[in-house]
Structure 1
């Protein structure tokens, strides 16, 4: 067995009594297998790419980013030479349907630039058809006016988050009902809108009614689309392929070495189907379709169908989903499980010439033909989302092995299947069909995630396992990123402020931790790309480094550790497009702008010295001038440098101004705080003060902003609490002042009593009964207090007059 060719890693691999061998979890065997490429000089890899009819969502990001992580580890850590091929599905049932619907809606809108009676009538019929098909509990003659009331009653359990029947938890069925309720509700709102005259009204109407109009217009006019006019569909696919590529670039996903598109492989696909048919593993039907014959395939010794998920081979819903929404059940199929290799095109569907008549590829055949055309009869790795196991990848396997196998059968087309686990957010799986997804570009533009933070979350979860994004996982990802970020900042600061030459006494213990961490990382990655374990090993190494006290470590050891961690995070794709061989420490985001450095570092140096002498109480005018004379003020600087140069210049002028006023040390320290907390902070730079060390210059990041926001929130709460106390005290005093104006002799003269003595003390209650002695005592105490209060008031009023 040949040994895989690998490039020599730039660092020494950790020694071990039992060196790890790379093993990968293989969906074909449902176990971990030693990774041995077919050709030791090149690993071949085919990845199922996107079906481009809509924007990619975070569930897609999970698949493609995780796929990218494995690819990078295999290439950049283990040193394999890869040929990575990814397809673009630019024709299938979903694309045909979506492209046709969008085309017809555009025509409808062009024909009806205003909301006429015809538009309202068509939309009303579309609304009725949508409800009849998707919300059967509602009446078929339901009016938009009654939709809200009727749907709230008939689907109350679903709206309340329960199963339709009212028992058990909700499922995808209930999620779809909710989606249909939203769609119908939106259309009802559009139909009930009082005004439909302005341009914005028209746009709002169609936005609300679009999802009921699309299927309805397609049912009326879909079959009229010219099958030879592929632009109806390519207009859609080209748009979303471009947007997909933009999303992948934004997520730092490496571009494929080869991209294949279904529409560019028409001849190869037809030839592929014809070869399977000639091998007796496929048959044509009278309508011009071709089906794979599972029974004939399995009769050949060594051939097996549904090798990935044999337990699903009889699942009719999965089979139907694999055949596509536009596929009609043929009574000429030899078995319900047989699947389409080539579909005869019906009216309104694009077509290509073939020996069986005008038609189009089945969903599964495209990958088999394109992968085989580029990579040949045997491929090392095939990857995709775990939902593709059956029927898509199982059908790919069968038809490809039916194409390549000899009469004896048993051809092995793929050696390793890698399937990425699902993504769910707080328990909900994202799905285009359920319209419950967040697109990648939405998530990035809102700042929910960035390329690094999302990738860290995926790295913290096993690639083959499902990942549920919870608040705890997001916090764990943010904490890991901050931990590594702060370590990089310390290492970079050492480059500017080196340690004393005597440092290094504590190297031995940290070196031991370093070697152990490298071994842990290596063994984790060799154990089927166990990135969670590798991430923990990096965190532990930083913890051991921080716990060492650092002052006893040599700078050289710190730099070695920092460069190692830098390389690993680059291997994981956490540092943009930075070259792996770049010797710099850290990742993007830990450095201030190049145009700021000259002036910010000068301001930081001056500030450090000013603070030191102000605290010591020996800041003389001469000393101050000698400190600030080392750096020039802003004069003739490039435009990009001006804001930073002006901060330095202003700081120096303000220092001179304080010196002229003979200001106190407290004033100098306050100016230093202003430079840190306002002037530089507003430019995105922070000076982190440290004991017995120069201030660390660092960019303002999310962690610092969060800390400042929390600090300001606490200060605001204290301020508001104080203001409340002062307000309540003022109100109490004002109330007391008003009360003091009342004479003690008049205070009890109310309807509650009917008789009083000469001092105004009550003697009879309102019914004429004597006031009880116990109550009289209590009233006398109140009377005494009021007497003193009133007499003090009178004395004060007399004194001020």
Structure 2
């Protein structure tokens, strides 16, 4: 075993796992995903970055964050086959969101392309961060809240008073524009006034666009508002009321309880923290598998690396690149590191090396500490002295815990040795995390001479944004993967297609147009698979082959486009366009001149590519099959569905031709003799077939017209089979195509039914309006004209009942009298017609 490849406390894939079985099954095929147990010796290069050399023609160029340019991809392995890859994994203290999906699904796509298309053997390592400032704080807070709730099972005055104090502390810390005397009663109005710009989606000052700062303010407004609502709720008596109260008040109680009792917990009991991390690590793994993300070859956890981290840091100190302070912390000496020729700090984002906010994010709680022993504000912690309420491990410097950045350096070096090919993660990790990783790892491995190259290629995935702000757990502006998949908004394929249609290192903001584009691409490929799979049932035996050459030429051009796109730094958007363009060329060809073999070859290629992209679960890209999941009907249904489809085609053909006689019908029905017994799942499909045959014979006995047979055929398609999730797509001069009822078909039917319902509703409303109009006319016709103006608006009338004086006794104006007379005459005519009609009816 190569030095450094120890597997203590580490999760390794076995052939019993789903991915292990997949790899075992395709072990004999080229360009496969394979778990490699041995690694070639590392080679060193010189900083700031030296491009690896190869005697083989370059197959691939990748965008390298280390050089901020595209570089030829040449593995360290002397034979150019093995690729060592470390990827930063999750910090497990909450559910993963769609921003995480963007990162891990995209990395999975690159991983699959490297292995499944370019044929590299990958050693893919991913860590689990199960101890850091956020985890310690969240684990401790959750522990304190659970203890507090157990001791306060009813909402007493004491609990309310404490929660009000927690509310006040939260508002004072996080919403500084509010007045000092704001309380739960005035919070809503005052926050609406003071933070109006933020609520309206603007920056705090109303000048610039909203960003992460405003997203945090919105989060704090929501948290405080929810707590105020819980405190103002009139009922807090029932157990349900208590749960509602705690749910509303939880986010203000958590930091308040921690400020009171956080330092008093027994932090030597690491289960206080691992209870949280183990739960969310398991949920993260479930989420990744639901997104069809391959398991890592090796999983490492920070909590299992305490001793190795101490040893790693000791060597950095011994090499003269780090120093300890009296509180038991160890800091990386940036100035000392850069004094050695060949050493460079902040190589990924040198423009950010002086950004104090980013430095503070990287240091966590230590950024709040003031110590004169720190040689430079930019120096970062390799080892943190543990304070009361924090977990710790033994070290030469006293009880402490790892700095955030050191964990990845140690775990990656432990598994992959002193040099690796690829290091990946989200773009936000460039500085300070990955820049600090680089510096401390190079300081560890280079000893005194400097210039060690720890990573050859850094791959950073772009963000997924919501309204201009990146998704973030701390901002609470995220949609969890479980929510997105559970509500039917997304599935593993549709989400992955969105990411494939966008550049892997570019930011993505999901819009309606983007979703429509992804759905359109998926539908286009699905319909192509439907057509080619139908050739397996209805072969094109009369093809002339006249179109083969033209289509094969387009096929070769498309393959070249796909290859060039993937070789150009995994340009999946161009590859996806090339695939859809190939389908367009195929669709435009005359099928009567295209042999089935050409269709099958194109379909197998497209199947292979979409499977390499991870769009079809764990299906083997090289098994020679066609299509992806969701395009086939159940196997147990096929005998009966294809039989009834054939019979329906023949019946329609003869009914339209006008020669559907009894003997002809019996010949049609005699083509299929179903088994007397079926498995239980097949019974509904067998019943559809037998019912259709019985109904056909019934129509034949009645010598029904052709239109009745055609209506029965439509009913079979639109109701009986549809209700079983199967659709018969009628085609001109071709048998009906059997396909499952998919989202697209269901949406089309729903839209058609909605339009029909809207038309029926409009017709019904017109009928109601007309009936109401006629009812009003009928009621109006019953009024005697001599009585129609006898109201308190007038005081005198002539013999016909036409007003002559208004209520004050003044003469009604001549013009008005003339108008009233016209109305009187109109009513007289209407009244007389009604009387005449009523008289005729009574006789």
TM-score (norm 2): 0.90
Q: CA deviation at 1:639?
A: 1.8
Aligned partners of 1:107, 1:551: CA distance in 2, in Å?
75
**Structure 2 segments unaligned to the other structure (5+ residues):** 1-27, 33-56
Tell me the C-alpha RMSD between the 2 structures.
2.2
Taking the aligned partners of 2:822 and 2:261, their CA distance within structure 1 comes to 93
- Residue from 530, 539, 547 that aligns with 1:498: 539
Quote the Cα distance in structure 1 between the aligned partners of 2:240 and 2:634. 44
Identify if the C-alpha distance between structure 1 residues 779 and 141 changes in structure 2 by more than 3 Å, giving closer, same or farther: closer
Q: Hey, what's the Cα distance between the residues in 2 that align with 1:762 and 1:197?
A: 70
Counterparts in 2 of 1:208 and 1:762: CA distance versus 1, 3 Å? closer
State yes or no: 1:471 paired with 2:512: yes
- 1:688-707 equivalent positions in 2, closer than 5 A: 688-707=729-748
Query: Paired residue for 1:37?
Result: 75
The aligned residue for residue 716 of structure 2 is 675
Give the equivalent residue in structure 2 for 1:28. Answer: 66
1:528-607 → structure 2 map (5 Å cutoff): 528-607=569-648
Q: Does 1:120 align with 2:190?
A: no
Pairwise CA distance, 1:373: 0.9
Residues 685 and 697 of structure 1 are in contact (CA less than 8 Å); yes or no, is this contact kept in structure 2? yes
Corresponding residue for residue 200 of structure 2: 160
Identify the range of structure 1 (273-282 vs 160-169) with the bigger mean alpha-carbon deviation. Answer: 160-169
**Alignment match, 2:51:** none
Q: Are 1:383 and 2:420 an aligned pair?
A: no
Alpha-carbon distance between aligned partners in 2 of 1:241 and 1:504, rounded to the nearest angstrom: 56
SS in 2 for 1:144: coil
Q: Deviations over 1:738-765 (max 9, x none)?
A: 2222345555666677777666667778
Equivalent residue for 1:241, pick from 277, 281, 285:
281
- Cα distance in 1 for residues equivalent to 2:454 and 2:837: 104
Q: Structure 1 residue 277: deviation in Å?
A: 0.6
Per the alignment, residue 686 of structure 2 pairs with: 645
Moved more, 369-378 or 676-685: 676-685
* Residue 286, structure 1, aligned to residue 326, structure 2: yes
Confirm whether residue 417 of structure 1 aligns to residue 458 of structure 2: yes
Cα distance in 2 for partners of 1:285, 1:662 equals: 101
Question: 1:635-784 to 2 correspondence within 5 Å?
Answer: 635-744=676-785, 772=814, 776=818
* Paired residue total: 787
Instruction: Give the conservation status (yes or no) of the 8 Å contact 1:28–1:417.
Output: yes
Other-structure match for 2:109: 69
Q: Distance in 2 between matches of 1:383 and 1:421?
A: 11
> Contact 1:20–1:526 (CA<8 Å) still a contact in 2?
no
- The 1:797/1:274 distance shift into structure 2, 3 A limit, reads same
SS of match in other structure, 2:655 = helix
Return the offset for 1:630. Answer: 3.1
Instruction: Pick from 291, 316, 322 the counterpart of residue 356 of structure 2.
Output: 316
Q: SS at 2:401's partner residue? A: strand
Per the alignment, residue 3 of structure 1 pairs with none
Verify: 1:340 aligned to 2:381, yes or no.
yes
1:16 maps to none
**Aligned partner of residue 408 in structure 2, secondary structure:** helix
1:353 corresponds in structure 2 to 394
The alpha-carbon distance between structure 1 residues 622 and 782, as it changes in their structure 2 partners (threshold 3 A), is farther
Q: Do the aligned partners of 1:24 and 1:35 also contact (CA within 8 Å) in 2? A: yes
Q: Is 2:543–2:594's contact at 8 Å kept on the other side of the alignment?
A: no
> Contact between 1:68 and 1:253, CA under 8 Å: does it hold in 2?
yes
CA offset digits 1:42-90 (Å, max 9, x no partner): 1111000001111100000000000000111111111111111111111
Partner of residue 124, structure 2 = 84
Q: Distance in 2 between matches of 1:275 and 1:385?
A: 29
What are the residue-to-residue correspondences of 1:367-446 with 2, within 5 Å? Answer: 367-446=408-487
- The answer to whether the 8 A contact 2:175-2:220 is kept is yes
Q: Is the 8 A contact 1:633 1:649 kept in 2?
A: no
TM-score by length of 1: 0.94
Please, which moves more after superposition, 357-366 or 502-511? 502-511
Q: Is the 8 A contact 2:464 2:509 kept in 1?
A: yes
Deviation at 1:409, TM superposition (A): 0.9
Match of 1:180 among 205, 220, 236: 220
Conserved 8 A contact 1:634-1:642: no
Pairwise mapping of residues 81-160 of structure 1 onto structure 2 (< 5 A)? 81-160=121-200
TM superposition shift of 1:612? 1.8
- Superposed CA offset, 1:671-725 (max 9, x none): 2222211221122111111111111111111111111111111111111111122
Contact between 2:211 and 2:469, CA under 8 Å: does it hold in 1?
A: no
Which whole-Å CA distance do the structure 2 matches of 1:352 and 1:257 have between them?
Answer: 28
Counterpart of 1:13?
Answer: none
Residues 621, 785 of structure 1: CA spacing in aligned structure 2 closer, same or farther, 3 A cutoff?
A: farther
Q: After superposition, what is the alpha-carbon deviation per residue over 1:371-423, rounded to whole angstroms, capped at 9, x for unaligned?
A: 01111111110000000000000000000000111432111110000000010
8 Å contact from structure 1 (residues 23, 34) kept in 2: yes
**For each residue in 1:3-52, what CA deviation from the matched residue of structure 2 results, as whole angstroms up to 9, or x when unmatched?**
xxx98569xxxxxxxx9841000001101011111101311110000011
